[in-house]
Structure 1
Amino acid sequence: MLANTTRTLTEAQREQWAVDGYLQIEGALSSAEVDFFSRLLDDTVRTAPGYEPAPGALPRGHYAWKLPDQNKDAFMDRRDLLPYHQAFIDLIDRPAIFDLILDLMGPYIQFSMSQAIVRASTDLFPGYIHTDGGQAQKAIRVSETSRPLAVKVMYLLTDVTADNSGNFTVFPGSHLRPFPERAERVPHPGMPGAVPLLGKAGDAYVFPHALWHGPSPNHSGKARKTLLYNYCQMFMRAYDFSGPYAAILDRCTPRQRRLLGDLGHDFRPGDFFYAPEDQEAVMTGA
């Protein structure tokens, strides 16, 4: 059993997290919020250049500044959402979800990454399975009684109520054991043990970096839209920014500023390993 200062998960959720490695939170966003964020992706994020994948120019996992396909149902993978709208900033520590993050990870954490993905309906994309965090983290797993290193929240902005709809697909328990990844057996969503999850727009999935997961093919006839927010322990590097996120700190609450790397002073050796004395109070809102 994890020793927590914030108790938010039910015992059933705590057991599922330890055994299966993920949670599904129904109704994390209201229908009005789903519509708002969906329009924001269509009318603001997609219409402006930003950090997008650049296959052939940059390796997988690296992003270039570019304008995506302007078809609202076409593929889009946008990083670094926070500057586009205050609502993206406020989603960082949305109470109903952030309370779960604190329960799972403890208070010595930072925000690491924001991302919007639109998965087009197409016969050309077979889906894929992966872990998060790059080559090194792929081989790092913690026990069921340990704090996770990094946790991601995926918010559904479209209904996913049938298979082959771009489902978030997981291999339950794979966060605790070596997972075969060989040239003759590349992980894919159709492998034995894969579980394609169903959900309604507004639902959220919570999972650690070490869980093998990925999108199934999308043959549904409609695009699947999601938002993803990542949190990691303070001693780790953030994904989207290299230091305190100075460009938006004046739009943030004290807790959001702390999550974005503002420790209240200029950098000195030991920062992010030994947190400020008020870290727990700032994170919990005490």
Structure 2
Amino acid sequence: MTQQTLDIAALTKQFHEDGYLILRNVLSQEKVDRLNAAIDRIVAEEPETLAYNIYNSVERDDEIASLIDEPTLLPLMVNLLGYNIQLHISHLTIRKPNPNDVKTESQSFINWHQDGPHPQFPKQNGITSTYYIKTCYILSDMSEPDRGNTKVIPGSHNKPFQPESQDVRGKVDGEVQVCGKPGDVFIFPQNLWHAGAPNHSDFTRRQLFLGYSPIWMRPIDYRTASDRLLATASPYRKQLLGVIDDNPFKYYVPQESMVPLKEFYIHDAGQSVYK
């Protein structure tokens, strides 16, 4: 894959204002093909359904695990969340064509919501802080709306907001359907209001979400990373898999040597390009 150089400062500003980013051609077609082949293998082991939600997907195939520290996005994630971060979730979603809006236990479509625990993260003046950020790898042709696209309300992460209706099948003022081609990446925080629209097309939606959070939070997918994932992990990936020190206090106040991702952190706000 070709590593892009991103304008970190400009993207950070846009992210904080809009609550999401769409980055084009992050993955090569060859990488997309390998990921889809891995997904084919995974789905072949699952019961047939209109919609698949497969968590901890990095454990299912090394091709997916390779995205944990994807080099184009890693500096951006460090500068959006800070350098003391980990992999929080890896969630594969597949939505087959569903013109009749059949609702399945595996969620053929998902109504408007903010991500988070139950009860939800605390609010201050009606606003929830950003606790984790998801990168969504688009692996099927989502270049047109109504293909099971993710819907978002731009700016809804940084103001008191409640959709007029939770039902994703309606239309909310200001909503945007995120469109992209295979290899594009969509990035958004857990506090952005979003929804998973029904798939009324002839295309199957394939999206792979890898989320990142501060290392002191519990990951959604696992308590500790598996020996298999750690066996060949680089220092960056070991940090992202939560391995920094045996002393849990260091998750809150790590020594610099424990968080190698710090090298991607831009201290000077005027320095806009990671090199």
TM-score (norm 2): 0.82
User: Is it true that 1:278 corresponds to 2:261 in the alignment?
Assistant: no
Equivalences for residues 105-144 of structure 1 within 5 A: 105-122=81-98, 123-125=100-102, 127-137=110-120, 139-140=122-123
Q: Is the 8 A contact 2:149 2:199 kept in 1?
A: yes
User: What's the offset of the Cα at 1:230?
Assistant: 0.6
AA aligned to 1:243 is T
| Cα distance change on mapping 1:264 and 1:272 into 2, 3 Å | closer
| Cα distance change on mapping 1:14 and 1:201 into 2, 3 Å | same
Q: Is the 8 A contact 2:12 2:79 kept in 1?
A: no
- Indicate the larger mover: 241-250 or 105-114: 241-250
Give me the CA root mean square deviation.
2.8
Which residue of the other structure, out of 220, 224, 227, is the alignment partner of 1:243?
224
User: Is it true that 1:215 corresponds to 2:196 in the alignment?
Assistant: yes
Equivalences for residues 223-234 of structure 1 within 5 A: 223-234=204-215
| Cα distance change on mapping 1:188 and 1:262 into 2, 3 Å | same
Partner of 1:188: 168
> What is the rounded CA distance, in whole Å, between the counterparts of 2:158 and 2:226 in structure 1?
33
| Cα distance change on mapping 1:173 and 1:241 into 2, 3 Å | same
Partner of 1:60: none
Partner of 2:55: 79
**Structure 1: which 5+ residue stretches go unaligned?**
1-6, 49-66
Equivalences for residues 4-43 of structure 1 within 5 A: 8-42=6-40
User: Is it true that 1:259 corresponds to 2:240 in the alignment?
Assistant: yes
Partner of 1:96: 72
SS in 1 for 2:249: coil
User: What's the offset of the Cα at 1:187?
Assistant: 4.9
Partner of 2:44: 47
Equivalences for residues 169-188 of structure 1 within 5 A: 169-180=151-162, 185-188=165-168
1:200-242 deviations in Å (ceiling 9; x for gaps)? 1110001111001122221111210011101001121111011
Q: Is the 8 A contact 2:244 2:259 kept in 1?
A: no
Query: Percent of aligned pairs with the same residue?
Result: 27
AA aligned to 1:47 is A
> What is the rounded CA distance, in whole Å, between the counterparts of 1:273 and 1:11 in structure 2?
26
SS in 2 for 1:128: strand
> What is the rounded CA distance, in whole Å, between the counterparts of 2:72 and 2:97 in structure 1?
31
1:158-214 deviations in Å (ceiling 9; x for gaps)? 1112221111210001111222268xx325362112111211111000111100112
AA aligned to 2:101 is L
